[in-house]
Structure 1
Amino acid sequence: MKQKTGFSFFPLLSLLFLLGLGLVGCNEDSLTQGFDELSKADLAKAVPSGEFDETDLQKSGNAGALYLISNAATGNEVIAFDRAADGSLSNQQSYATAGLGTGGGLGSQGAVVRYRQFLFVVNAGSNEISSFRVNGQGLTLVDVEPSAGTMPISLTVHDDRLYVLNAGGTGNIAGFSLNHQGDLSFLPGSVQPLSTDAAGGAQVSFSPSGRFLIVTEKATNAISIYPVDFSGLAGAPTTYPSVGDTPFGFDFGKRDRLIVSDAFGGAPNASAMTSYQIEPDGSIDLITGPVATNQTAACWVVVTNDSRYTYTTNTGSANVTGYRITPSGALQLLDASGVSGQTGAGPIDLSLSRNSQYLYALSAGSDSITAFAVNSDGSLTHLDEWMGLPDGAAGLAAE
């Protein structure tokens, strides 16, 4: 084991333009930095995906689990909940990652990834990745590796390859091999730059086939596509302009459909979602969009297993917008208002249970998790809210 030792409009408007690029609607820092006078009480007033092994879940007697990270600068931890068959959460546990968080928002999707019998998390404050084995008794730390860059914020896994998006410095992606024990080994020659030195990367993910890596870039309004060869090495990227401004989170539907949120710099009621087709050569073609959420700062995205519905968090509006995905890949609002469900203040991540029966939202302004049941028509039924998470908590992976 290679382990390290060791709603008032003006407050809301201020919230959404804290960072110079206008990207703050998708970053918990927008809830905490530079606006000390804006308390969580003020925020409250503003509120009107991978494979896994089910064997260990069967041993534990749980229907599933939910994972996030504390992201604490003094010592990062995984926070784990048991998930019951009715979607409720219980038995909160914490596991040290042997790394450090940032203490603030990461502004990314994919900080926590569940894959097969493993859980992978970023340590953005110490520039590391931690690997855990998931078993019936909880989590066991397996490995901690340098991320080959600065401030890792997003992870993706396909077969025996893991890639990380490093957002600090000039920014890059870097690859690792994964063995059966969960150990990570850096892949020489895998590091590739983003499209510019200040791209504002938000997420990295393998395409469903594993032949390409996709990175959304908030600052450049672009989507970069990297080919991946048979040895798992990423090649130089081809960068495509995003149809909507400030592309952020994304997920995949059937037939290589790419569903991307467009935060539009946090402009009030201006955010949207866009769907693209990933072609065999890795290029992307527009299917539909931007299709407005009619809400503020659409950021995190999930798609149901059957590819019939997709959801995004609206960080500035404290809610979730749902869309129907047509057979052609077009997006249609489930509700004309754009509001499918209300979350806590400042939702900063979103995850579906492995059967897409339940949807969970992490909210930074209220330090809470909101649970919804996903109905057969795509509508959401609010189930419960769990409070008391640590400030700075980030990432979300449900199973």
Structure 2
Amino acid sequence: MIAVDAGSNQISVLRIRHDGSLRLVQDGVVSSGGSTPVSVAAHDGLVYVANAGSADSNYTGFTLSEGGHLRPIADSTVTLPGNAQPGDVLFDATGTNLIGTRVGTSQIDSFSVGSDGRLTAAPGSPFAAQAAGPFGSEFSPTDPRQLFVSNAHAGAVNGTVSAFRVASDGTLSSIGASPFADQQTAPCWVEITHDGQFLFTVNTASGSISRYSIAPDGTLKLLGSTPVSSQAGVGAVDARLSADGQTLYVDESRVASVGEFTVDGGQLTEFGSVSLPAGATPAGVAVR
């Protein structure tokens, strides 16, 4: 597992034991190549981190060895404006395209990934986002050319989710009537069911999870929203599906707990939560 350490400008690599516990890899902590790393993407032995600090904002690449050791890739750093405030970075399923969201300037970076691990900006990149504050992003697990991005900063009940088609050179084009209304506030994180038919987005300021169906062409249809019950759900952030796709785990950062929802197609039902140590302020969740 790879974790970004925003407070120390580092990246840590941890080994997952059979019982689920974690152990830091020897010499597994390295500089992120910038300041305030906030997101990390990995595909096979290639890793990119988004550094959001205004003085040293960038995307920087690393190779990851089988033993869990990171090595910086020479000349891989893509410098960003100080006000870019990158929020998310991710590879598509093939590892040939990399996407990054710029929350601060409402833009989306798109790159093709070379055989040497270095990035080439797509024609027209960065692309203007379709609404303010593009934040969370996710590729369809069944169609790697479909990209979905939540837009978090358009104001109360004005959240949206954008749908894009990604060309082989990384060029983004809008799908249908994108962006699609969320009718909630601050949709920040996106998760898609393993069959590619439904999308969930966590609305941090509304305390809810919006549910969409995904048409074969990538068009979204809002099905409704499900409240997160803990502390009225305000402060819920990241969400991830279990390996079998039957449970959605939600990081309820404000109250230091993880909410559990059963998944039935595009329907969600909350059935419990697990408390974390007092004082914990988790910023993300990963499910193996």
TM-score over 0.5 for the pair: yes
Considering fraction of residues, name the structure with more helix: 1
1:363 aligns with 2:258: no
1:313 aligns with 2:202: yes
Shift of the alpha carbon at 1:305? 1.1
Match of 2:171 in 1: 283
Q: Deviations over 1:12-45 (max 9, x none)?
A: xxxxxxxxxxxxxxxxxxxxxxxxxxxxxxxxxx
Match of 1:229 in 2: 114
Match of 1:246 in 2: 133
Q: Which amino acid aligns with 2:214?
A: I
Q: Which amino acid aligns with 1:127?
A: N
- Tell me the secondary structure at the aligned position of residue 264 of structure 1: coil
Tell me the percent identity.
33
2:66 to 168, 171, 180: 180
Unaligned runs of 5+ in 1: 1-118
Q: Deviations over 1:293-337 (max 9, x none)?
A: 1111001011111100111110111110010001111000112xx
Match of 1:150 in 2: 35
1:220 to 105, 130, 146: 105
| C-alpha distance in structure 2 between counterparts of 1:385 and 1:188, whole Å | 44
Match of 1:190 in 2: 76
Considering fraction of residues, name the structure with more strand: 2
Q: Which amino acid aligns with 2:117?
A: G
Shift of the alpha carbon at 1:275? 0.8
| C-alpha distance in structure 1 between counterparts of 2:204 and 2:226, whole Å | 14
Q: Which amino acid aligns with 1:245?
A: A
Shift of the alpha carbon at 1:236? 4.3
Q: Which amino acid aligns with 2:8?
A: S
1:171 aligns with 2:171: no
**Equivalent pair of 1:350/1:360 in contact (CA under 8 Å):** yes
Give me the TM-score of the superposition, normalised by structure 2: 0.91
Q: Deviations over 1:215-262 (max 9, x none)?
A: 111111110112211111123462111112211001111321001101
1:271 aligns with 2:271: no
Unaligned runs of 5+ in 2: none
Shift of the alpha carbon at 1:366? 1.9
Shift of the alpha carbon at 1:394? 1.4
Counterparts of 1:125-136 in structure 2, within 5 Å, are: 125-136=7-18
Q: Deviations over 1:257-289 (max 9, x none)?
A: 001101134x11110111111011110111142
| C-alpha distance in structure 1 between counterparts of 2:254 and 2:281, whole Å | 10
1:348 aligns with 2:237: yes
Match of 1:82 in 2: none
Of structures 1 and 2, the larger Rg is shown by 1
Shift of the alpha carbon at 1:388? 4.0
* Range with bigger deviation, 346-355 or 321-330: 346-355
- Tell me the secondary structure at the aligned position of residue 365 of structure 1: helix
Q: Which amino acid aligns with 2:259?
A: T
| C-alpha distance in structure 2 between counterparts of 1:252 and 1:388, whole Å | 30
Counterparts of 1:16-95 in structure 2, within 5 Å, are: none
Match of 2:266 in 1: 378
**Equivalent pair of 1:341/1:380 in contact (CA under 8 Å):** no
Higher relative contact order (CA 8 A, sep 6+): 1
Shift of the alpha carbon at 1:355? 2.2
